[in-house]
Structures are given as C-alpha cells and as structure tokens.
A and B are shown apart, each in its own frame.
Chain A
C-alpha cells in the first residue's frame, strides 16, 4: 500500500521566493496534518484538516504560511515570501479518526538561502 506521499523531497530556494509543498495522504484517511521539524524547536504542528476542512491553524507561524486541501487526496502548504528562518523539514501526516495513529510522509527538506 502506498503511504503518505510528499513532493518535492528537497527544495532549495532564495529568500523572497514562493514555495509550495505537496502532500497526498493515505486513501481513506480523514485527517491530514502538516508539521515542521527544526533542531531548535523540534516537531511542531502547523495545521490540521478533518474531511478537507481546516480545523486548527494556530501553529502556522505567520501570514506568509497558508495551507489548502481542495480534495481528500491532495493538500498544499505554501510559503510566500520565504525567509531563511523557514528552513526546516516539513512533514505531512494522515490518519483515520483522529490524532493518535498518524502516518507520516518522508518529509520535504527546505533550504531558503
């Protein structure tokens, strides 16, 4: 079975550019989560969706960050404009029924120069 798919796996961009990260959750899962992982702050929940509806975006650091889930099989996390402090690994995860058993994708390693 296919797991959570994320693209791209690596992204290098320059400060000020728009960055779009993509996620395909496991088919049939009704929850989707976006996390950011850094050495300084560890693993942080940015936003999560239930049945394609954003439920809690309190973890989104600034208005430069936005996330959408237009359908049950696709979500995007966009950063515009990007800044060097956004450099991190961004994980997408999905689950069935809630928070407890989440399945993580391989992550997107973002470097903003």
Chain B
C-alpha cells in the first residue's frame, strides 16, 4: 500500500542554519504530496503542497520539490528561526481520491 517515510528526529539546528528534512514515498500512480507542520500544543496545519512531478511548493521560506524519479519530497529552508521549532509531517494522497497518508513526523528544534 501507499506509504511515506521521513527521516528520524529530533533534528537540532542553530538559528540561521540550513534545513533539510527528507521524505520519500511509495504510491501507485501520481500522488499529490504535502508538508504539514504541528507547532507545540497545536493541531497540524498545511505548510505547502505539490500536485505533479517537478512542481515546487513553497510557503514561509520553506520549499519542497516533487521528484518522481527519486520518489522524494524533501523539505528545505535556507535559514531557520527559533519559531520554526515544530514537528513536520510529510503526507501523500493518491490520485484515486484516497485519504491522506502521513509520515511519522520529524521534530525540529532550533536553538538561538
């Protein structure tokens, strides 16, 4: 079945460091891909998405490119802030209208 695999956390970075959180997926067909973020004590919120190969989703300085050849959707940010500390979830939805399949989440901690 469809699945999402994320790099394990926690990831600890200093402020202004470069961030990469790896995400790979297994799915039939051409799924849509998402990154959701969960700030402490809150529910998840959509950060960005991409619906077809080579699309780049971006929001709040975060970017992710849909790479079909490597079945990946890695999340990147050039300069993280303390306020980016959160848990990040990669997710997919297959093109047959199925539910969202979430990865396990990667905790990011940014130190001043």
Interface residues, chain A, with chain B CB atoms under 8 Å away: 3-4, 42-43, 45, 48, 56, 91, 93, 98-107
Contacts and interface: CB of A to CB of B under 8 A. Distances in A.
A105 B32 CA distance: 23
B46 A101 contact: yes
Given A56-B99, A99-B99, 16 more contacts: A4-B43, A43-B44, A43-B89, A43-B102, A45-B99, A45-B100, A91-B44, A98-B97, A99-B93, A99-B100, A100-B34, A100-B46, A100-B100, A101-B49, A103-B43, A103-B45
B76 to A, nearest CB: 22
Nearest to B51: A100
A90 B41 CA distance: 13
A107 B46 contact: no
Interface in B90-107: 93, 97-100, 102-105
17 contacts: A42-B105, A43-B105, A45-B99, A91-B44, A93-B43, A93-B44, A98-B97, A99-B99, A100-B32, A102-B44, A102-B46, A103-B43, A103-B45, A104-B38, A104-B43, A104-B45, A106-B42
Interface in B36-71: 38, 41-46, 49
Nearest to B44: A104
Given A42-B104, A43-B89, A100-B32, A91 B43 contact: yes
Contacts of B32: 100
Going nearest first, the 4 A-B pairs with the smallest beta carbon separation are A104-B43, A43-B102, A104-B44, A42-B104
Interface residues of B, number: 20
Nearest to A98: B97
Contacts of B105: 42-43
B23 to A, nearest CB: 13
B39 to A, nearest CB: 10
A103 B43 CA distance: 8
B43 A107 contact: yes
